[in-house]
Structure 1
Amino acid sequence: MKYRVLVVEDQSDIRTAIQAFITRSGYDVVSVATGEEAWESFQTEEFHVILTDMMLPGLSGEELIKKIRAESDIPIIVISALTDEMFQINAYEYKIDDYVSKPFSMNILIYKIEAIIRRTYTEALTEIEYKDIRLIVNNYEVFYHGELVDLTAKEFELLQTLLLGKGKIYTREELIDLIWGYDYLGDTRTIDMHIKNIRKKLFPELIATVKGVGYRIERN
């Protein structure tokens, strides 16, 4: 499944940069410049996450969020140059899911999107099927040609992360943060060892190496 993100940002350079980065990370992205366009897109298309600025021409970010929340619990991340504490507190009172202050790291933004998607959607996803593999989500069971494969816990979590993000290139650092946690102090080359083991237990072509960048599983 490919997740869809709606980006609402009136500054064209920022909007273009966000759309390009999120697209490269494996998501379908629709970007618009105004609250009115966002509302129209929300009503006519399906999205999994909305990223919106608060200071928008016409229909403001606040008004847009209120209209969306009257109809949906879709995850909303606010991106804003307004860093005042009370403003951020008020934004959370509109039932947003996260707040990112400008300027921000694109990598951190992707982490936040992925965390929200895992929390919101993967609980409902029970199985992933890819070629001759069947993975039982969050249950530490993987079958290959119908036979149970003996993966360690970290091998399973690594494979599940790559399968959920099919098409996205993950760096070693991203995988360490997502699976071992931000406070992991070991060598990121442990990722290479786990990838090697997964390939041996399943099949070598399953996980592609992107030279100088990281790893990914190709889309079907």
Structure 2
Amino acid sequence: MKPILIVEDDMAISQVLKAYLKKAKFKPIQVFDGQEALDRFKEVKPVLVLLDVMLPKKDGWHVLKELREISTCPVIMLTALGDVNDRLEGLNSGADDYISKPFDGDEVVARVKAVLRRSEKDEHPVKSYGQLEIDHQAHRVKLHDEDIVLRPRDLSLFLFLAEHPNQTFSREQLIEHVWGWEYEGSDRAVDLSIKRIRKALQDWSESEGEIRTLRGLGYQFSVYTT
């Protein structure tokens, strides 16, 4: 069974996660503070970490930072914090997904499986499309060997689209995947974000790819060369 490290100081929540993961045929390993998480990580070698933010000794942000210095192991953040900026901080610090409490156990398992599928499929995280280079692990985009600077949310949106080349996503789907289901603003935020991304990529050759608008359907990261 694949080991998953549960880093959660609330015993009740930890036990619920353990039960759902065991049912899904994973091997859950529980730790209850940030320092213990780092110590056990090295010996357990989990395939994924479920990481709470508010932890004793070392909080989740510090644990995530230290994990990213030694490993690309997938990390899903678990927290009661619902603020968009907290979610984006986690994603742009190297987290692979973010789930707010309270959560549904089946949803957690589904997210775990989805993140593992992406991780196992993406053995080569750096993808090149002509002069455009995307490093999904490092959350970095380069065009003509120059770093492209994007706002955190724009970067998250672009990376999500780039993970699914030539697939179309509606505004509602992009809001759910990037902003999160708690988002209560207008879906026009997607349009504005796409506009900024296109401006940042204006020197990318149209013969290599583009961010396409499919009227009535949504947006697509279309690539014509690899």
1:22-101 aligned within 5 A: 22-101=21-100
Deviations 1:137-181 (A, max 9, x none): xxxxxxxxxxxxxxxxxxxxxxxxxxxxxxxxxxxxxxxxxxxxx
**Would you say 1:19 and 2:18 are equivalent positions?**
yes
**Cα distance, 1:123 vs structure 2:** 6.3
**Cα distance, 1:120 vs structure 2:** 1.3
Letter of the structure 2 residue corresponding to residue 101 of structure 1? S
In structure 1, stretches of 5+ residues that fail to align are 125-220
Letter of the structure 2 residue corresponding to residue 63 of structure 1? H
Match of residue 150 from structure 1? none
Task: Classify the secondary structure of the residue corresponding to 1:4.
Answer: strand
The percentage of aligned residue pairs carrying the same residue is 28
**Cα distance, 1:27 vs structure 2:** 0.2
Task: Provide the C-alpha distance between the structure 2 equivalents of 1:92 and 1:122, rounded to a whole number of angstroms.
Answer: 19
Match of residue 115 from structure 1? 114
Deviations 1:2-58 (A, max 9, x none): 321000000000011111111111001101110111101111121100001000011
Task: Classify the secondary structure of the residue corresponding to 1:70.
Answer: helix
Task: Provide the C-alpha distance between the structure 2 equivalents of 1:55 and 1:30, rounded to a whole number of angstroms.
Answer: 19
State how many pairs are aligned: 123
8 Å CA contact 2:9, 2:55 repeated in 1? yes
Task: Provide the C-alpha distance between the structure 2 equivalents of 1:8 and 1:112, rounded to a whole number of angstroms.
Answer: 16
Letter of the structure 1 residue corresponding to residue 108 of structure 2? L
Match of residue 128 from structure 2? none
Task: Provide the C-alpha distance between the structure 2 equivalents of 1:116 and 1:85, rounded to a whole number of angstroms.
Answer: 20
**Cα distance, 1:91 vs structure 2:** 1.2
1:89-168 aligned within 5 A: 89-121=88-120
Task: Provide the C-alpha distance between the structure 2 equivalents of 1:123 and 1:104, rounded to a whole number of angstroms.
Answer: 27
1:196-207 aligned within 5 A: none
8 Å CA contact 2:3, 2:44 repeated in 1? no
Q: Which region of structure 1 is more displaced relative to structure 2, 73-82 or 111-120? A: 111-120
Task: Provide the C-alpha distance between the structure 2 equivalents of 1:115 and 1:88, rounded to a whole number of angstroms.
Answer: 18
Letter of the structure 1 residue corresponding to residue 30 of structure 2? S
Task: Provide the C-alpha distance between the structure 2 equivalents of 1:72 and 1:66, rounded to a whole number of angstroms.
Answer: 10
Where in structure 1 do 4 or more consecutive aligned residues deviate above 2 Å? none
Structure ID, larger Rg: 1
In structure 2, stretches of 5+ residues that fail to align are 124-226
Task: Provide the C-alpha distance between the structure 2 equivalents of 1:23 and 1:121, rounded to a whole number of angstroms.
Answer: 21
Task: Provide the C-alpha distance between the structure 1 equivalents of 2:120 and 2:72, rounded to a whole number of angstroms.
Answer: 12
**Cα distance, 1:105 vs structure 2:** 0.8
